[in-house]
Chains A and B, each alone.
Chain A
Amino acid sequence: MSRAILCLFFVIATSVFACADDAATFSDDQIAFFKADVVELLTNNCLKCHAGESPKGELDLTTRAGILKGGESGPAVDLKNHADSHLITAINFESFEMPPTGQMSPAQIKTLTTWVEMGLPWPKDLHEIEFELEAGPPPVNDETKTFWSFQRVQLPSVPQVADAANNAIDAFIRHRLTDAGLHPSPSARPRELVRRMHYDLLGLPPEPADVERWAAKISSADGGLNQSGVAELVDHLLASPHYGEQWGRHWLDLVRYAETNSYERDGAKPHVWRYRDYVIQSFNDDKPYDLFITEQLAGDEIREPTPDSIIATAYYRLGRWDDEPADPKLAFYDEIDDIITTTSQTFLGLTVNCARCHDHKIDPIPQRDYYRMVAFFKNVRRYGTRGNASVLDASVTAINRPADPGIYRTALTRYENDTKDAERHLKKIEELIWDDLQDVEKEDFQFDMNRVPIVAKREGTILKAPQVKTYRKQFSRLQQLKANKPSGLADALCVKEDVRNIGPTHILTRGNPHAEAAEVTPGFPTVLSPPEAVIPDLPEGASSSGRRKVLAEWIASAANPLTARVMVNRIWQYHFGRGIVRTSSDFGFQGSRPTHPQLLDWLAAKFVESGWSVKDIHRLIMSSAAYQMSSRPNKQSYDVDPTNDLFWRFDMRRLSAEEIRDSLLWANGSLNAAKMFGPSIYTDIPAAVKAGQSRPGSGWGNSSPEDKVRRSIYIHVKRSLLDPLIESFDFADTDQTCPVRFVTTQPTQALGMMNSDFIQQQSEIFARLLQEKADSTEEQVTLALQRVVQRQPTPDEVARGLKLIETLKTEQNLNDDQARKYFCLLALNLNEFMYLD
């Protein structure tokens, strides 16, 4: 504000004050009323907008003079005509409607009205109501650009410490511990470490014999750990195909992997499991992370797309899809928002999504940057418009063309004939009932899920029982056929663009899709620029705009300050239970700061140097003394650093939902770990849970007994119906990117682990295994405990189990089999089974 205007303002304010307010003395009661009731009301309801240097409508309500002077519409209060004052009419919703979020309570309105009628009592010594304006969005400038996570990664020098232990990680950690006067905890016991390492890398426990073998291998003569043995174990585990299942699942959490669309139909996504398999295989192959990024974001736009790189682009198809949105334009932008949220948080640790309606309130990300990011994805076709055919058209493509045209032609002909035959049968029956269908049924009939119930409803009237039976049979035959197209005709879920009309992208005012504002072009967040995005010209015959590739290359670049940091931090988190940056998907201003910034940068630099090898980072981390520390308490360290910010010990963790299910199937010998990949499986979901569906059982199949006991990563992820055991132990939210799972403790978990059909069955199987493998009850108890906690139980522990079995038999009249079964159930409920040291 220039001095001239300031002076003018002062003069006007003073003069208004002087002439309008000739009775400015108030009683103590009136002043008390103002202080007790009015200030809070104004503060909570009005000042957010009507305060500060540029109040809305130029109306400042923090001073009495401001109220009397008013704003663009004139004085807010007319002391001569209270009832017609703007302030009074506005809060009664008679002129303006204030506050805009909704009317105040009648009591509140009365308070303000009384205050106005009193003539605005105001303490003499109060110039203005103190009000702390919310800090505005941080600008993009030289200062905000210096934020730690926006700086390019430099390899830091490794600090010199007295006892450098195993590798540079320890130097960084011990340096900090020494400064704080703390000592690192001693090494974990070899058996504990063997168990920890198996679960961390494979999500599965070791065989009892393997525990002994590896524990011996990693023990050194002096009672410590033999590092070459540890390194050998790490390599052994990294070579296991189950490694990809465990670490792939972490990735699936981040990309909110699910296999259905949610909403009314919650339909299955075709071929989506290929993406899950792609992720597992990529981890097993140690695919360079930069390539992993590029394939998912732009696998169709790279120079030589492969079937795998096309499958990877199913990344864009994993989210929710409302197939009949009330506002299609809003749905279009909601879907892009879902992609932006997932992409910016997962790869960059930035909450760009917060800038959809206005500038980001915490980070220097203006709204314009959000829409510049939208522009990268604007041409991506919606997952579908409505119905299965639209999905096949927009999101499915054929991969793996057949090598032998002859074989392929024969198979194709057979497939087509069979399909036609099944369709002919169906059509015949459908024609019989078509005229009987109500209009609403006709509409429903376009969705596969509704057909059988609608036809079955006519059994006994238009249709005879055998006809309905035929319909059911042919319907499922057709489904089977479609799901098993002849080899060589494989399809993949993938991204597709519409390049016929690449339209402009606009900023949307307050995020409203119907309020287009300035046009923008694709661009990276300004605070991270340069570099600038350079979009290539569309080549003749191109099937996509090439924009996503530009974004992918920028993200997957060694020069990007965030990408490598964010990923090594995630790897660290999945090993240690928390990231060096605890908010692993938010490296912005609101995120927590790294507890060991130099260590984070050192790891990020090493990651890039290794050619973005995730397995190399595992090797580095797991060979550190920090990773190998005991988790036992230490009061002295705890008192100084209760949150273990300094990594003075290793933190215990509970098994994840999948680890719990896989481990209990493993303990009783029934886990089918050998079968990997392929379409998802269906576990037994109790009828009581399916009763929550509008068509109980709809969309949930029945797998073979061998398939039902496969690893949990292969269970069909249906957004509206999850396996109850998996869900109750804090499975990742299927609708939003999940960087850290909750660990809740609830009585319903205990009920499921004690009483569910599933746990009862598994305990029985466990008991039978014990009977097969051990003769005496004592040996059976010993073996059961070994298989759940991976150590030799103490005599006391065995005796306790024997005592329970005896009590159940004598006191409760249970037979041997029953008593054994319930001891097994107990074993599967042990804290030591559920928690890793």
Chain B
Amino acid sequence: MTTRNFCGRTRREFLWQAGAGFTGLALTSMLDQDGFLAQQSVAADGAADWENPLAPKEPHFAPRAKNVIFFYCYGGPSHIDTFDYKPTMYGMDGKTIDVKTFGRGGHKNQGRIVEPRWKFNQYGECGKWVSDLFPNLATCVDDIAFLHSMTADSPIHGSAMLMMNSGRVLSGHPCLGSWVNYGLGSENQDLPGFVVMLDPRGGPISGSKNWSSGYMPATYQATVMRSQGDPILDLSPPEELANGGQRRLLDTLAEYNQQHLAARQDNSNLAARIASYELAYRMQSEAPEAVDISQETAATQELYGLNDPKCSTVGRQCLLARRMIERGVRMVQIYSGGAHNDDNWDAHGDLENNHNLHAGETDKPLAALLKDLKQRDMLKDTLIVWGGEFGRQPTAEYAKGSGRDHNSYGFTMWMAGGGIKGGTSVGTTDEIGSRAVDDKFHVKHLHATILHQLGLNPYKLSYFFGGLDNKLVGVEGASPIWKAIA
């Protein structure tokens, strides 16, 4: 029998993960060994900050990126109609061919080709072919690494979304943003460390499961931020307390709580709870400032398309994302598309209507985000990730129409900024985009790349739960996609 250490974890993490969450006091003294209680006893007098579990932590090695913006195209954008150019498909429309596909309609061996519905042109020094769906974004290709050979385990939205967000097709695992906050904390304690922005038409299927912290504490789950109205749930105090009344109330609350604490000085949880009210108070002023877009110049607002009704919602979200990471929020995830069917990229019916709508809403804001970050010299520290839970098939789903079924055998995602090699394309699909052929990558490699750019070793970032050292990239681990890294 071998004796084991804490498997690379601190004593605190070990106890916490081993199920000591309930035992406030057991934890207290463990924290003490990390010098935590010393800070707490200072915090208890209200004069010093309490250490938030989201306090910034040291990465495993020097990071290439500090923050992540994951632009999630919910529903699954068609790769062969956007960035994966298939010249030989033109002229093949309606032709029935033998091809193995697997989507919501099940496994098929044959299908009717739906020729890509948009023209492609070459852009940038790299000469990347991009379809007419993204004329603005196309001007940024020299900053982008396209991953054309992505694969995933499921072509069904429910499980595929969980996989893209949490690395597993099973519900109940922490999502990428939770892992990142667990590994790195956040730079700004007055704002959430992980923010999700939703499409006003509705959330994605499975709702909050997509940004849940799973078996990790709720500390690491996302905060949903709205681009209109109160940005965070329960952020605004009631009207009649807004002018100093709430401060009075909090001061009195603190007096009661300090008196209660006086006889229980060794319980750091009580002090932490006192401090959390001050943090909430600061968040109340910090968050509205962070979302105050009126501070931006007219030129910036124009750049993001805020004056164009078609893309003003996404434009606002992209601009907010920049403002969030500027203030130290670790990860922002924006959902393009919501609800069901054509309210998102799930083009089962009319491919042209669907993709014209969603690309039209996002093209200009995405280009603006890349350009704006670049001109502020922030792109080098900000990792942008674009893509959905899968791509779409080269063939038609039904006897009539241009709708494409799901395709997890091969699809395109792209990354930019944060140490990514711009102007590159990694991996290929076959000549009709039905499956990945060269340099096949799995979702876990994408996750590994994101963690790696943030200075986290995907093999080492683990969380002990249910008897296992769980990792975002799975038990066996996965390497980053080196070819996409500068």
**Chain A interface residues (CB < 8 Å from chain B):** 99-106, 135, 138, 143-144, 262-266, 320, 322, 324-327, 334, 341, 345, 351, 353-354, 357, 362, 438-441, 443-444, 450, 453, 573, 577-578, 582-586, 588-592, 631-633, 638, 642-644, 651-654, 686, 688-689, 691-696, 719-722, 724, 727-728, 730, 733-737, 739-752, 754-756, 760, 797, 800-801, 803-804, 807-808, 811-812, 814, 818, 822, 825-826, 829-832, 834-835
Collect the chain A residues with CB atoms within 8 Å of residue B30's CB: 643
Q: Once bound together, how far apart are the Cα atoms of A731 and B237, in whole Å?
A: 25
Q: Are B479 and A822 in contact (CB under 8 A)?
A: no
Q: How far is the CA of A488 from the CA of B18 in the complex (A)?
A: 47
- A695 with B159, Cβ < 8 A, contacts A326-B154, A585-B19 known: no
Please tell me if the beta carbons of B276 and A750 are within 8 angstroms of each other in the complex.
yes
Contact A744 B24 (CB under 8 A): no
Q: What residues on A are CB-neighbors of B401 within 8 Å?
A: 439
B233 at the interface (CB under 8 A from A): yes
Docked CA distance A764–B32 (Å)? 41
- Give 14 A-B contacts (CB < 8 Å), ordered by A residue: A101-B479, A104-B479, A322-B158, A354-B468, A577-B25, A586-B19, A691-B203, A691-B224, A695-B340, A735-B215, A812-B243, A829-B277, A831-B274, A835-B270
- Chain A residues near B159 (CB-CB < 8 A): 263, 322, 325-326
B98 interfacial by beta-carbon distance below 8 Å = no
In the bound complex, CA of A755 to CA of B249 (Å): 12
How long is the Cα–Cα vector from A610 to B106 in the complex, in angstroms?
56
> Interface residues of A: mostly helix, strand, loop or mixed?
loop
Chain A residue nearest to B233 in the complex (CB): A688
A814 x B240 contact (CB < 8 A)? yes
Pick the contact of A755 from B160, B237, B245, B467 — CB < 8 Å? B237
Q: A102-B445, A694-B205, A730-B217 are in contact. Are A831 and B198 (CB under 8 A)?
A: no
Tell me the total A-B contact number using a CB cutoff of 8 A.
Answer: 349
Contact, CB under 8 Å: B1 / A746: no
B203 touches A694 (CB 8 A): yes
Contact A263 B206, beta carbon cutoff 8 Å: yes
Please determine whether A652 and B172 come into contact, CB atoms closer than 8 angstroms.
Answer: no
Q: Tell me, yes or no, whether B155 is within 8 Å of chain A by CB.
A: yes
Say yes or no: A325 contacts B448, CB within 8 Å: no
Q: A635: nearest residue on chain B (CB-CB)?
A: B266
- Minimum CB–CB distance for B472 against chain A, Å: 14
Are A264 and B157 in touch, CB under 8 angstroms? yes
Cross-chain contact A440 with B261 (CB below 8 angstroms): no
Instruction: A733 to B172: give the CA distance in the assembly, Å.
Output: 8
Is B170's CB under 8 angstroms from A740's CB?
no
Q: How far is the CB of B376 from chain A (nearest CB, A)?
A: 28
- Is B89 part of the binding interface, using a Cβ–Cβ cutoff of 8 Å? no
In the bound complex, what is the Cα–Cα distance between A744 and B54 (angstroms)? 12
Given A325-B156, A654-B269, A740:B22 Cβ within 8 A: yes
Given contacts A800-B252, A829-B253, contact A653 B22 (CB under 8 A): yes
Interchain CB contact (< 8 A) of B279 among A143, A747, A760, A801? A747
Please give, as numbers and ranges, the residues of chain B lying within 8 Å of A686 by CB-CB distance.
233
Q: Do A691 and B205 touch (CB < 8 A)?
A: no
Partner of B280, one of A144, A589, A750: A750
Question: How distant is A721 from chain B, measured CB to nearest CB, in Å?
Answer: 6
Contacts of B341 in A (CB 8 A): 440-441, 444
| A265: chain B residues within 8 A (beta carbon) | 158
By a CB distance below 8 angstroms, the chain B residues around A144 are 1
Report yes or no: B273 in contact with A834, Cβ–Cβ below 8 A.
yes
B395 in the interface, Cβ–Cβ < 8 Å?
no
Cβ proximity bits B279-295 to A, threshold 8 Å, 1 near / 0 not: 11001100000000000
Contact yes or no, A439 B398, CB < 8 A: yes
Which of B2-35 touch A at CB < 8 Å?
A: 2, 4, 15, 18-26, 28-30, 32
Instruction: For the complex formed, measure the closest distance between the CB of B480 and the CB atoms of chain A, giving whole angstroms.
Output: 7
Do residues A590 and B467 form an inter-chain contact, with CB atoms below 8 A? yes
- Given A440-B349, A733-B215, A834-B273; A694-B338 close (CB under 8 Å): yes
Bound complex: CA of A734 vs CA of B224, how far in Å?
A: 20
Q: Which residue of A has the minimal Cβ distance to B217?
A: A742
| Contact of B214 with A by CB under 8 A | yes
The yes or no answer to B234 lying at the interface (CB within 8 A) is: yes
Q: Does B482 contact A (CB under 8 A)?
A: yes
**Contact yes or no, B256 A830, CB < 8 A:** yes
* Contact A577 B24, beta carbon cutoff 8 Å: yes
Whole-angstrom CA separation of A106 from B445 in the bound complex:
16
B408 to chain A, nearest CB (A): 8
Give the complex CA separation of A583 and B235 in angstroms: 37
Residues of A within 8 Å of B259, CB to CB, are 797
In order of increasing CB-CB distance, the 8 nearest A-B pairs are A102-B479, A735-B172, A351-B467, A642-B29, A326-B154, A264-B158, A750-B280, A263-B158
Query: Given A138, A578, A592, A632, which contacts B263 in the complex, CB threshold below 8 Å?
Result: A632
